[in-house]
């Protein structure tokens, strides 16, 4: 099983992959640009591809994560155009690096209501996919349901997915912290929840697992990650992992470590849990 973490690509893609090896990671997630900005980043496609080729022998899967400032459901046309251009840019960067997945957060309806928000999100995604070719798949991440966030449940994610015309280019990323904060990951009725999350029509589209603990309580609808096993999910994270859900999918840890080096312990923890 592939286990890794979110890392900084600021010193270059090849350097990031070499540091990942050092942390005993075989999957790495990175931001294509400043995560607080959706300004389109100019880049040299050839140079990125050459840099990625230098580290091909390392056998590490990479995952790109879109900046969280974009809102796929914004009712404002100018913001919509900016969001589309930003995600198109992210997909192009990911593709240049040979990254198979780009994770994006579902939209926020900001008072327009879930139906309108979902319709906007679908229009935006259709336009993004129409503008980009390439191999990188777009993964919709489940949200904590903070504020007016969409995509909180498996049903909501599946509804968006089935309404997309290019749905074969779209999958899901499942985040344990978000699912717990959203009131989805209820360990007091785990067998039922396990069955729902494992439904083939959903599970078959999950390509990446974000393994995080939660600082906030069950159903708190707030997204604050905690170190593995040290948050509100605690020991149940181990139960989740050992249940075999999304078992063959790469695991990315995005916990609040002080320094990248500390991910070594988080990765070791997960490998230990998986070993029993």
Q: Which residues bind Zn ion (CB under 5 A)?
A: 175, 210, 223
Pairing of strands 101-105, 61-65: parallel
Closer residue to Zn ion in complex, CB, 95/213: 213
Compute the least distance from the CB of residue 13 to Zn ion, in Å. Answer: 21
| Shortest-Cβ-distance residue relative to Zn ion | 210
Compute the least distance from the CB of residue 218 to Zn ion, in Å. Answer: 16
Compute the least distance from the CB of residue 83 to Zn ion, in Å. Answer: 19
Residue 247: alpha-carbon gap to chain centroid: 16
Task: Report the SS3 class of residue 113.
Answer: coil
Enter the tokens of residue 244: 């075999």
Helix axes 77-96, 45-54, angle to 10 degrees: 40
Compute the least distance from the CB of residue 49 to Zn ion, in Å. Answer: 27
Q: Are 210 and 174 in contact (CB under 8 A)?
A: yes
Closer residue to Zn ion in complex, CB, 95/149: 149
Closer residue to Zn ion in complex, CB, 80/153: 153
Pairing of strands 137-141, 101-105: parallel
Closer residue to Zn ion in complex, CB, 55/87: 87
Closer residue to Zn ion in complex, CB, 109/210: 210
Compute the least distance from the CB of residue 50 to Zn ion, in Å. Answer: 30
Pairing of strands 251-253, 3-6: parallel
**What is the rounded CA–CA span in Å between residue 252 and residue 28?**
7
**What is the rounded CA–CA span in Å between residue 173 and residue 114?**
20
Closer residue to Zn ion in complex, CB, 210/269: 210
Indicate the length of the chain as a whole number. 276
Compute the least distance from the CB of residue 224 to Zn ion, in Å. Answer: 8
């Amino acid at each position: 099983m592939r286990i890794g973490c979110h890392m900084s690509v600021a010193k270059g893609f090849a350097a990031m992959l070499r540091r990942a090896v050092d942390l005993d990671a075989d999957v790495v997630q990175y931001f294509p640009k400043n995560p607080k900005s959706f300004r389109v980043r100019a880049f040299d496609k050839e140079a990125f591809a050459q840099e990625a080729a230098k580290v091909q022998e390392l056998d590490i899967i990479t995952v790109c994560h879109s900046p969280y400032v974009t809102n796929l459901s914004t009712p404002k046309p100018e913001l919509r155009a900016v969001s589309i251009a930003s995600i198109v840019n992210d997909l192009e960067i990911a593709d240049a690096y040979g990254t198979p997945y780009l994770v994006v957060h579902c939209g926020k309806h900001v008072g327009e209501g879930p139906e309108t928000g979902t319709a906007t999100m679908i229009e935006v995604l259709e336009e993004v996919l129409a503008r980009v070719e390439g191999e990188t798949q777009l993964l919709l991440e489940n949200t904590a349901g903070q504020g007016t966030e969409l995509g909180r449940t498996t049903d909501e994610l599946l509804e968006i997915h089935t309404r997309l015309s290019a749905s074969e280019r779209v999958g899901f990323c499942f985040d344990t912290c978000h699912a717990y904060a959203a009131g989805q990951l209820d360990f007091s009725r785990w067998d039922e929840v396990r069955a729902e999350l494992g439904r083939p029509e959903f599970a078959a589209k999950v390509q990446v697992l974000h393994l995080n603990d939660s600082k906030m309580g069950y159903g708190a609808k707030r997204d604050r990650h905690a170190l593995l096993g040290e948050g509100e999910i605690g020991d149940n994270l181990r139960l989740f992992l050992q249940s075999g859900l999304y078992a063959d999918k790469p695991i990315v840890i995005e916990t609040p470590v002080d320094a990248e080096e500390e991910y070594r312990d988080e990765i070791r923890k997960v490998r230990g849990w998986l070993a029993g």
